[in-house]
A and B are shown apart, each in its own frame.
Chain A
């Protein structure tokens, strides 16, 4: 290391390079900002510019230990871009394509501080270069999932629930839902109805990286997941499956093949108990939070089983009463299909009372 003061070196260099470009470009041709090197500038443009505004030596002479120290202090996490192709596994974090690197590490922070492993590569393949914005326009007959980000009305076995807390989905339903990674993560559990056969198709369109899971059991155990299906952002997919006997739940959450995501999809609602400060930057988010889930299956012939749980009971009676009167399609409580929930439907419910065949 030179013992000449940096300011003098800078002045000498400036005089020598008179007429040449005064400043080295920051960018991919250079080594990372957290490594000292002989050339001026460094790989990460944002960090490079920030440091050089503070200390021109770093972009005009060399990126020395002092520049590295400043980068560490000024830039915080120096994750993206970084060495290595985004579509190739490498042992360092980040990758060269800045936007791709940022997108992946936003949703999978490991890729920004760990290694760019095969999971990061798969995420880059699925996400980078694809559409980011694709607002879902729900059809008029879609049922709103209607769970605010900060409430927990269908989150299954989260926290210490004794039984899965779920919403209901019926054959033919289309659910317009939303899920987030804000802590605690939002996952949406839908209890599947009883059917005459075990053949199902779930179609999921999603604004974000999403996956569906099939889960059965009791929260205390055993609880098991028998299948999963993931959908890349701004795409849709049909998942056909056959279920064993038992009560099953279809779960929608932010995720990729083999794992859930827990970052990058913050809630877009304001928490009334913890409102943001006026000067608080919104959390970064690239994708939307909405999805559209459609379930195709053959409902069991069990007149009166309004909620599809395989039993005609007081819950169905309650659902019938709350739907009393004119009831446009879809209207599960309109058992005779005449557009009105009335005494005829009540009679059909009573004659079917008990466990479905």
Chain B
């Protein structure tokens, strides 16, 4: 029990024992997304992955209990999924990024009852790794921005209102000193507070985030590239991003995991300065996430009900899940607005937590953490028991998900540095190369159909 001196929201996070759902076939899960696909009022879970059969898995939520994973045929390895009503029929659809050399989106239209039609494909470029769905042209329906890992090009697809998509002018992001910036993750937010949705892209090979300001009609200003905070002079490798107002000043900040060599992993923050004429970030803030493994995945959510965004970080090789309690005192509440966190707290540990999500899975009015574990082929549900400062909820409502593996953390492997080469071709092996190495990892295998090859001239050396 908490003592009298401890206010709700100030104490450590409390999480129940992890419920580990192992995928029925080798799946190498890559991400996790939530949405009420069967219309019963609770959130269901979809897990894309890099299995050779081209399946993703759907777990329907039945009053807080996740059901047996159901196969969804997507037609290829999938690295990302968005759950959104694309065709305006009131039912949630699934939009997968198919990680293939013949890049494409795979769209499964929902029937509203947890079933889906056969997948439809939209051709894209070279190996899409992520996609974001948002209203980019301001016409009220969801459009698509998809990134290709092997091209510096973001493809824009505009919705005709009925789920048909027309390509608009693509966006080129680049940093000319390295030939391919290897974009890995993408998100949207209104960074300049002009009422439209801008894009943010993590380019792992360039160790930059790129911001593309929307002109309001799904055309964009030239991408602006920003390096993350340096940690002891080192530029970290980045693989993921999360967007939210960390300092509660009314604008959207960007959080990135930072892969460092010889340093603890960190999370870096691009603190939006609220400019409307341009994008201005303060990049001074970086916080250690753990000395174990490499920070790979990031998410935000108010885990303790104190109305600020806490940070969740998944790590690789080995792979703890760490949470950082946001202790920023916002200017609006008389504080200094400086972003602060409590030291990181471990809530799970395995080998490679590659994707994260937060959602109230069990309906107890707090946010639980979902994490996919690449190596052990599983989804971890971490039930939130933290007393909520908001008074919402009554803590964890004990339920048993099925199927459940009682799990002891395996011995976590480390990165064989010998496998990590100068993958981005900039002449040095850095955190960016480890980040690229991790993005290509699939349970220790080379991804099917994707020869890991350098330039021809270096192969023949």
Contact = CB atoms under 8 A, between A and B. Distances in A.
Interface of A: 91, 105-106, 109-110, 113-115, 117, 119, 155-160, 181-185, 187, 189, 213, 215, 217, 219-226, 228, 251, 253, 255, 258-264, 266, 281, 283-285
Contacts of A281: 460
B461 A283 contact: yes
B426 A184 contact: yes
B455 A262 contact: yes
Given A115-B101, A259-B151, A284-B460, A157 B175 contact: yes
B387 interface: no
B283 A220 contact: yes
B457 A263 contact: yes
Interface residues of B, number: 44
B140 interface: no
Contacts of B262: none
Contacts of A114: 101-102, 126, 150
Contacts of B428: 159, 184
B297 interface: no
B227 A221 contact: yes
A221 B224 contact: yes
A260 B179 contact: yes
Nearest to B280: A222
A282 B224 CA distance: 39
Contacts of A91: 102
A185 B457 CA distance: 12
Nearest to B206: A157
B231 to A, nearest CB: 12
Contacts of A262: 179-180, 425, 455
Contact of B457 (A113, A182, A226): A182
Most buried by A among B125, B278, B460: B460
A221 B226 CA distance: 4
A158 B460 contact: no
Interface of B: 101-102, 125-126, 150-153, 172, 174-180, 208, 211, 222-227, 233, 235, 278-279, 281, 283, 422, 425-428, 451, 453-458, 460-461
B456 A109 contact: yes
Nearest to B221: A224
Contacts of B101: 110, 113-115
25 contacts: A109-B453, A109-B456, A110-B101, A114-B150, A117-B102, A117-B125, A117-B126, A156-B176, A159-B428, A160-B233, A183-B426, A184-B427, A187-B177, A189-B176, A219-B227, A221-B208, A226-B222, A258-B172, A260-B152, A260-B176, A260-B180, A262-B455, A264-B456, A283-B457, A284-B456
Contacts of B180: 259-260, 262
Most buried by A among B125, B176, B222, B278: B176
Contacts of A219: 227
A234 to B, nearest CB: 21
B151 A223 contact: no
B335 to A, nearest CB: 27
Q: Which 9 A-B pairs have the closest CB atoms?
A: A184-B427, A221-B226, A263-B455, A260-B179, A158-B177, A222-B224, A262-B179, A114-B101, A283-B457
A224 B179 CA distance: 15
B427 A159 contact: yes
Given A91-B102, A183-B425, A224-B224, A264 B457 contact: yes
A220 B460 contact: no
A228 B173 CA distance: 11
A110 B126 contact: yes
B451 to A, nearest CB: 5
Contacts of A226: 222
B455 A183 contact: yes
Given A224-B224, A283-B461, A185 B179 contact: yes
A109 B180 CA distance: 13
A158 B426 CA distance: 7
Given A115-B101, A251-B176, A260-B180, A217 B456 contact: no
Nearest to B226: A221
Contacts of B235: 160
Contacts of B176: 156, 187, 189, 213, 215, 225, 251, 253, 260
